[in-house]
Amino acid sequence: MKKLFLLLIGVMTLVACQQETHTLYLDQMDLSKMETGWGKNQINKSVEGNPLTIAGHVFDRGIGTHAVSKMMIDLHGNGKFFSASVGVDDESNEHASVEFFVLGDEKILWQSGLMKKGDDPKLAEVNLKGIKKMALYVSDGGDNINYDHADWADAVIEYFGDTPPVSVQPVKPKAYILTPPPPESPHINYPRVYGAGTGKPFLFRIPASGKRPMKFSAEGLPAGLKLDANTGVISGNVFRTGTYKVTVTAENAKGKDRQEIKFFIGFKLALTPPMGWNSWNCWGISVDHDKVLAAADAFVNSGLADHGWMYINIDDGWEAEKRTDKGELLPNQKFPDMKSLAGKVHTHGLKLGIYSSPGPKTCGGYLGSWKHELQDARTWASWGIDYLKYDWCSYGNIAKDQSLPELQKPYKIMRKCLDNVNRDIIYSLCQYGMGDVWKWGAGVGGNLWRTTYDINDSWASMAGIGFSQDKCSPYAGPGHWNDPDMLVVGQVGWGPTLHQTRLTPDEQYTHISLWSLLAAPLLIGCDLSQLDDFTLNLLTNDEVLAVDQDPLGKQAVKVKDADGIQVWKKQLQDGSITVGLFYTGTSAPEEALQWNDKIKTRKITVNWDDLHISGKQNVRDLWRQKDLGVFEDTFEAEVNYHGVVLVKISGEK
């Protein structure tokens, strides 16, 4: 028997040895399953589309990618050898730092060590015999992904037999819902403070969840406002500056809720961070009238509007090619009638936003407001626009230099113009953080300002932006917010085709928790007609949204950052704090690569000393909406990889 077995093994080995060896270049494989932290993976080119070049060596073949980059390959156990020349592409700059890894069945087979721009290519030569699944991984080198352009040049797999290796989808953890559905009885949600201009058209939809039909009533409404009892939409004009405490009641067959909402007339707009939708992260320049209207309808039909989601913002791609003879800006044929669109959005008690640039052209190449600022502000006001995103773009060619006066100039000009029209228009500055805009955005009259370059739906991008906002914390407050860019949950794609966000469910919980802790503007960037239960649940947890919308307007600060964990704390108006315990992970491949569906976890402990609190404290889990008990001195939670436990901590009553 033993002899027979040995003979069989011998024959099999002989067959294997006789099997022909084939080669497959990485650039011949399906790259759609390869992840990149920025841009698009490129065949035989760098990530920016230039010839693959490492320290002056030019390569004809290979893949240009960007950290954090991952590719899983099924070798079917037939692998023989892998080789590649790797390094940072010359198109990058001195901020680049990456590390290349080749892994097989969860073990590191080869690693490059830290590589920077200008380092000579390193040759990876890896024996693949006996390996079932291999992975190619480029880490951010332990810092961040900025300028991490990485090349797998001349990358080739040798394999035995006729079944070529195939790239496979990385294992994606399943979506799981944490938050119980909102009750059918009425609940008046957030914001509960709202600012509007004296004498300007006023519009506010009471955000109340619960079964419809619902009846609304209000006591203490300022003169000039009326409430629609069926929809909860309050509209009119208030001509007397002041603070008005309005007691609002929402009632349905299941019960009643009564809450105070404060209207501040004649002071500031955006007393809490704006919440809404923006067309860019889903539709890009393929946005049109129907898509915008569909988003507004979806806000109402999905119930999002009942949780405080208010703005429907059109991003780039709405502008006509030419102005009229009088110099007026027109919408293009995709938007036949802006005024009627605004009217329809307003009927729901929602608001309409628009986009322009201080330069002659927007980033999408459409007409900007250069030299037509006042005229454009008037045009928008006449259409009924409530929000302007003003994007630097081609103004870079107009500005003399990058000095503060030059950076501020176009934003000051548009501020004056907006002050000249009889409409409240939220003013959103977009210039990617140049000149530390967070230090002067409020000074030039911005209600919010982008602190970063564009976000995308990768962990590297979202976490890279979100977890580096500490520097901006002192500058946020009612009326003026740091904007770490729009949300990347749900179906995104920058148009016209969409895909499910590449963030895992845990990464999405982190995204919404972190943005709420940061008191960030919340602008959903997905197709609302394809909202799945998970995404809707994520966007309608009122206890989490209350953190973002807290009237004190404090942005969270980082209290701990060590070995792949972070803890952030946000002070709330009622004296309590919200704390996010994040397992961000290190860039070690054993943490970063998901080989199976087992979720990695870490215990995270936070001490009261770190949080500057003491004594007995109630701890409530905000995603589960569940009290966890009374804790003294310390709190510990088990947190999923790239996930969060978000708790509210308040002194024992």
Residues forming the site for ligand GAL (CB under 6 A): 280, 315-316, 362-364, 391, 393, 430, 454
Q: What is the DSSP string of 172-221?
A: -PPP---SPPPPSS-EE-S--EEEE-TTSEEEEE--EESSSS-EEEEESP
What does the alpha-carbon distance between residue 110 and residue 99 come to, in Å, rounded to a whole number? 11
Strand partners, 634: 607
What does the alpha-carbon distance between residue 402 and residue 399 come to, in Å, rounded to a whole number? 7
| Closest CB to ligand GAL among residues 396, 651 | 396
- Burial state string for 364-381 with b = 16 or more CB within 10 A and e = fewer than 16: bebbbbbebbbbbbbbbb
| Closest CB to ligand GAL among residues 297, 454 | 454
Q: How far is the CB of 431 from ligand GAL (least distance, A)?
A: 9
Is 563 exposed, middle or buried, given 0-12, 13-18 or 19+ CB atoms closer than 10 A?
A: exposed
| Closest CB to ligand GAL among residues 366, 475 | 366
Q: How far is the CB of 245 from ligand GAL (least distance, A)?
A: 37
Contacts of 582 (CB under 8 A, 6+ apart): 467, 510, 513, 514, 565, 566, 567, 568, 604, 639, 643, 644
Is 510 exposed, middle or buried, given 0-12, 13-18 or 19+ CB atoms closer than 10 A?
A: buried
| Closest CB to ligand GAL among residues 220, 496 | 496
Q: How far is the CB of 510 from ligand GAL (least distance, A)?
A: 21
Please confirm, yes or no, whether 120 is among the known catalytic residues. no
User: Which of 436, 454, 470, 610 does the annotation list as catalytic?
Assistant: 454
| Closest CB to ligand GAL among residues 281, 513 | 281
- The answer to whether 92 and 150 have CB atoms below 8 angstroms apart is no
Other beta carbons within 10 Å of 407: 20
What does the alpha-carbon distance between residue 453 and residue 354 come to, in Å, rounded to a whole number? 19
Q: How far is the CB of 576 from ligand GAL (least distance, A)?
A: 34
| Closest CB to ligand GAL among residues 261, 388 | 388
Q: Tell me, what DSSP letter sits at residue 75? A: -
Please confirm, yes or no, whether 561 is among the known catalytic residues. no
User: Which of 306, 386, 391, 483 does the annotation list as catalytic?
Assistant: 391
Residue ranges of alpha helices (H) inside 529-575 are 533-539, 542-548
Q: How far is the CB of 316 from ligand GAL (least distance, A)?
A: 3
Catalytic positions, written as ranges? 391, 454
